[in-house]
Structure 1
Amino acid sequence: MSDRQEQISQVVVTAEQMRDIEARIFAAGMPVVALMEKVAGLIARRIQNIYPNPRQIQEKDTGTRGHGDTEIPFPASDRLPVSASSSFFSSNSRIGILVGPGHNGGDALVVARELHFCGYEIWIYSPFSKLKELTSQHLQYARSLGIPIYQEIEQLPSSDLLIDGLFGFGLEKNLTDPIASAIDRLNELSVPILSIDLPSGLHTDTGEVLGTAIRATQTFCLGLWKLAFFQDQALEFVGKAELIDFDIPLADVEAVLGNTPKIKRITPATALSTLPLPRPAITHKYKEGHLLLICGSRRYAGGAILTALGALFSGVGMLSVAVPESLKSLLVSHLPEALIVGCPETETGAIGQLQLPAKTNLSSFSAIACGPGLTTDASPIVQEVIESDVPLVLDADGLNILAQIATIPTLQKRQAPTILTPHAGEFQRLFPHIADAKHDRVKAVQQAAAQSGAVVLLKGARTAIANPQSEVWIVPESTPALARGGSGDVLTGLLGGLLAQAVTKHIPVEDIAATAAWWHSQAGILAAQERTELGVNAFTLAQYLIKTLSSFKR
């Protein structure tokens, strides 16, 4: 991947920003018709790669596909086996094209034309009477080619694949009948649907369903990633997402985004570049960070173990774990590498008082991670670490206690960096005045970070991380295998360990949080691939952290 492609793959834009970027391209002299041809040509080529036409599959697969009189090479990794591609399409290779009134519909019509020329059997569904001029011209030409065009949903023939070009980015009003009913009918068909730019019916920024929406099997996002692709509520509609890069100049992107807070998609390159690697040839354990974990209770001993495992796999130089005295022998048996600190406990089995080794106080540590398994009976402990001058990660009961003692005024007094790692329910307890994070996660996390002065990591299917300057990092993929008790504890330990190492290396706190979330997610994905989504418990997840990192570093 080139430097430009890497930069483009990180950019996430709103509908307004995308309009402004396209306006700059057109103002510079790029004809709309030329851009439509280019984009649609790229889409048509990808469709041929993913869903080859059986008519064009020869006995020996040469790695090319016919396109008129030109052969188009494509990567072998994109090709389906001959048997798989043949079984996907019927012998007719019939594709239905859903055409809307705007330029998204125009893109779909150019795709229809190109696939028609490549031997696919095409039909068009065009339910709108008024079309933009360019879209209307492409429809007229498709009609001249003899491609069947239907206006009523009841008339549509069968197909092997549907291509959704009804609405692109920028839709804001709820869809109504008859198009809403038509979309519902299309969703009921047992046919894969490939959406162009965004599944029709989704809000570009929030991912909200505007009345109804196409449930796509796959979506080709055009030019730059749109914000909807990273909102949890949109994920069941976008299917497998892929960026179609049509060479937007970086200068135009920068000119529009300017000094506004950036929203970035975390890529393997950005995540790996943040890791404290390679280590210097001459170093020692205290130079590689000393993390203090404060976690666990008689009731939740597992939280301490899982958090510590995540920390150990981070590579932190030294790990100390403060737990109730009754858990010390258990922790020692599971974590021989760590220094286990037994603390006086309450009658309920929570840590009642921090009792650190002689000549040691909180300032002796590079970072502190606090919360998993504590119970809210450990409230004085959480208040003590918040008042310290040490970089701090708060999770689980650490967050619940923070919510009880007033989140924003408490954190505004801290001088050292703070990272909060709530799930949606914890987020609402911490920031009850901020609109429901389920509606617009990115906006919610921006507001929370700006108001509290903390880095806020909002966990979910698409984890979002914001710093106090309202910049956002988004983890672009995850797995439902992580929806198990203890997964978040592993992340807390991993994040704490990386934070402890970053202190001496001057790596921004928000970058560390983004890298930890990405690494944690990738470990879950790899574990789910090898063990299925049901076979990834938190202990297994921790074991996959190093295996995942090794696979990316090779």
Structure 2
Amino acid sequence: MQTLPHALYTPAQVRELDRRAIEHEGIPGRVLMARAGRSAWQALQQRWPQPGRLLVLCGGGNNGGDGYVIARRAAEAGWSVDLWALTDPSRLEGDARRAAEAALAILTPIDDPQQALAAADGVVDALLGTGLDRPVTGRLATLIDAVNAAECPVLSVDVPSGLHAASGRVLGTAVRAAVTATFIGLKQGLFTGDAADHVGEILFDDLGVPDAVHAGMTPAAWRLPAAALADALGRRPRTAHKGAFGHVRVLGGDHGMGGAVRMAGEAAARSGAGRVSVLTRSAHVGAVLAARPELMVAGMAAAGFAEAVIAESDTVALGPGLGQAEWGRCAFDRGMQHAGALVVDADALNLLAGQPRHRDDWILTPHPGEAARLLGIDIQAVLDDRWATADALVERYGGVVVLKGAGTLIADRHRRRVVGEGNPGMASGGMGDVLTGVIAGLRAQGWAPFEAACLGVQAHARAADRAAGGGERGLLAGDVLAQLRGVINP
């Protein structure tokens, strides 16, 4: 297996790459299948090296053909192999049929895969490929649930069966793999949404196809490189001064939500902004200053926002703790008038949903619920296809969209990125406020909207991963703040 590439493709694009390899480069399909099976078998041997009892579940297409190759290799290596066929092998065609015939020359298929599960030391899932587009039901769903309930590791071939390879959503039910071995091109659905709970360790093999196969095909998206922060955030000039690193103004913090603006303000400062001001309810001024005296804090009545002076060169972070009452609406109206850099989050997004507008230079950072309100759709529609949701938000509102969640997506009209860092401990209050501050802090230092969003998401997620070293449960936004300085100085 090889280092994971950064380019991501749709399943349709990967099928096209496969076709090019066969038709343009003259690599027979059976050779590609043999290479895929061999690669997956080698991965299985490396992770579970002791010979044992292997249950191989084969479907009816080329994915099943890969499974037959694995089964034959395991049997030839002396493993005890139970082989089960979802589709009658005599009904297979082409390369898959030839792979099945080679395996069945030395193996006899079993009738009851669930009974075999009890004795299995490992399972190979080669049931469903990347073409799945409807929910898994019936006996196949029952089998997948049984596989998930069994106490043995699973290697899925190309994509865990039941997982949509384009969107990353579960279609009814899906295998929870320990390892997913995938080929030719990485599928975008393996890196966001439900996939996080199903793919396990992702291994990749390009099967030796030449670079010409990929020539001229623009990837659907890209994984953000782990080195992005280190590559972007070099050493500061020794003559640096605070005026060179921008001024962030945080607008928000209605009654009872002063902590949100404090965390957003501190996150902007910890991310390197030269100055940070907070415009909030007067009742919060003392507490914010006591917690973080480096912030400049002003108390604002609702009417005061109309006269609030915000320089065009400032970066405004609008939304943390904003609320949707009169005070929040006044702050929202003032923030929307700002012609400079603007990061919009939380209740500012909910207010924006009721007053849609379009800008090319702002950054919107919705979680799935806010995304649903912005698009006027059900939240399940967001979860069903996060990639399509991000694209739809960019189309309607413009600028850069950060769709938060497992496998956070960053998109503008021309680019899509996914960040694989982060952990479930981030599902707690205040995390979004910290992210808003980090992105605003980087934006204030001169990064363009898309780059500020990408670097901000990665810095935030990496800080959360460091903070989660003691456990994910109970992880607080303040714990992430405490790690930001180290992350932002890679």
TM-score (norm 1): 0.81
Q: Quick check: 2:305–2:334 contact (8 Å CA) kept in 1?
A: no
- 1:319 corresponds to 2:257: no
| Cα deviation digits, residues 109-167 of structure 1 (max 9, x gap) | 2222333344432221123212233333333333333x443144356361111010112
Change (3 A) 1:177 1:301: closer
> For the residues of structure 2 that align with 1:128 and 1:428, how far apart are their CA atoms?
40
- 1:141 corresponds to 2:102: yes
SS at match of 1:221: strand
SS at match of 1:533: coil
> For the residues of structure 2 that align with 1:208 and 1:373, how far apart are their CA atoms?
31
Which of 370, 375, 378 pairs up with 1:426? 370
Identity %: 30
Change (3 A) 1:251 1:544: farther
| Cα deviation digits, residues 79-132 of structure 1 (max 9, x gap) | xxxxxxxxxxxxx62111111222212222222233334443222112321223
Which of 12, 18, 21 pairs up with 1:22? 18
Q: Quick check: 1:352–1:378 contact (8 Å CA) kept in 2?
A: no
C-alpha deviation, 1:482, in angstroms = 0.3
SS at match of 1:238: coil
Which residue type is aligned with residue 310 of structure 2?
Answer: N
- 1:9 corresponds to 2:5: yes
> For the residues of structure 1 that align with 2:378 and 2:149, how far apart are their CA atoms?
37
Change (3 A) 1:380 1:549: closer
> For the residues of structure 1 that align with 2:138 and 2:375, how far apart are their CA atoms?
39
C-alpha deviation, 1:462, in angstroms = 1.8
- 1:389 corresponds to 2:343: no
Which of 398, 402, 407 pairs up with 1:462? 407
Aligned counterparts, 1:438-517, within 5 A: 438-469=383-414, 471-502=415-446, 507-517=447-457
Comparing 180-189 and 516-525, the one that deviates more: 180-189
Which residue type is aligned with residue 475 of structure 1?
Answer: V
Which of 43, 46, 57 pairs up with 2:43? 46
> For the residues of structure 2 that align with 1:239 and 1:154, how far apart are their CA atoms?
22
> For the residues of structure 1 that align with 2:488 and 2:442, how far apart are their CA atoms?
14
Residue in structure 2 matched with residue 150 of structure 1 by the alignment: 110
Aligned pairs, number:
483
- 1:294 corresponds to 2:294: no
Change (3 A) 1:330 1:183: closer
> For the residues of structure 2 that align with 1:437 and 1:154, how far apart are their CA atoms?
35
Change (3 A) 1:361 1:179: closer
> For the residues of structure 1 that align with 2:413 and 2:260, how far apart are their CA atoms?
29
Q: Quick check: 2:58–2:126 contact (8 Å CA) kept in 1?
A: yes
Residue in structure 1 matched with residue 294 of structure 2 by the alignment: 337
| Cα deviation digits, residues 210-259 of structure 1 (max 9, x gap) | 4443232332222322122134134333233333343444443342338x
Q: Quick check: 2:248–2:275 contact (8 Å CA) kept in 1?
A: yes
Which of 486, 505, 523 pairs up with 2:463? 523
TM-score (norm 2): 0.91
Change (3 A) 1:40 1:462: same
Change (3 A) 1:539 1:111: same
Unmatched 5+ residue regions in structure 1? 54-91
Q: Quick check: 1:125–1:156 contact (8 Å CA) kept in 2?
A: no
Which of 1, 26, 31 pairs up with 2:28? 31
C-alpha deviation, 1:319, in angstroms = 1.6
Unmatched 5+ residue regions in structure 2? none
Which of 210, 227, 242 pairs up with 1:285? 242
C-alpha deviation, 1:419, in angstroms = 0.7
Aligned counterparts, 1:106-117, within 5 A: 106-117=65-76
- 1:97 corresponds to 2:47: no
- 1:537 corresponds to 2:485: no
Residue in structure 2 matched with residue 66 of structure 1 by the alignment: none
Which residue type is aligned with residue 319 of structure 1?
Answer: V
> For the residues of structure 1 that align with 2:450 and 2:472, how far apart are their CA atoms?
29
Q: Quick check: 2:22–2:28 contact (8 Å CA) kept in 1?
A: yes
C-alpha deviation, 1:277, in angstroms = 2.2
Aligned counterparts, 1:123-138, within 5 A: 123-129=82-88, 130-138=91-99
C-alpha deviation, 1:479, in angstroms = 1.1
Residue in structure 2 matched with residue 305 of structure 1 by the alignment: 262
SS at match of 2:392: helix
Change (3 A) 1:304 1:223: same
Residue in structure 1 matched with residue 316 of structure 2 by the alignment: 368
- 1:199 corresponds to 2:160: yes
- 1:164 corresponds to 2:120: no
Residue in structure 2 matched with residue 270 of structure 1 by the alignment: 228
Change (3 A) 1:449 1:250: farther
> For the residues of structure 1 that align with 2:183 and 2:428, how far apart are their CA atoms?
34
Change (3 A) 1:271 1:26: farther
> For the residues of structure 1 that align with 2:255 and 2:470, how far apart are their CA atoms?
31
SS at match of 1:491: helix
Q: Quick check: 1:343–1:353 contact (8 Å CA) kept in 2?
A: no
Which residue type is aligned with residue 544 of structure 1?
Answer: Q
C-alpha deviation, 1:49, in angstroms = 1.7
C-alpha deviation, 1:364, in angstroms = 4.3
C-alpha deviation, 1:329, in angstroms = 2.2
Query: What is the aligned-residue RMSD (CA, Å)?
Result: 2.5
SS at match of 2:83: strand
| Cα deviation digits, residues 494-513 of structure 1 (max 9, x gap) | 010011112xxxx4311221
C-alpha deviation, 1:439, in angstroms = 1.3
Which of 286, 300, 305 pairs up with 1:353? 305
| Cα deviation digits, residues 458-501 of structure 1 (max 9, x gap) | 111121121134x3211224311000000111101001001111
- 1:222 corresponds to 2:183: yes
C-alpha deviation, 1:10, in angstroms = 1.6
Aligned counterparts, 1:235-274, within 5 A: 235-257=196-218, 262-273=220-231
> For the residues of structure 1 that align with 2:222 and 2:305, how far apart are their CA atoms?
41
| Cα deviation digits, residues 271-328 of structure 1 (max 9, x gap) | 443x342323433211122211122233111111111221122111222222223322
Which residue type is aligned with residue 82 of structure 2?
Answer: W
Residue in structure 2 matched with residue 69 of structure 1 by the alignment: none
> For the residues of structure 2 that align with 1:166 and 1:267, how far apart are their CA atoms?
32
Residue in structure 2 matched with residue 74 of structure 1 by the alignment: none
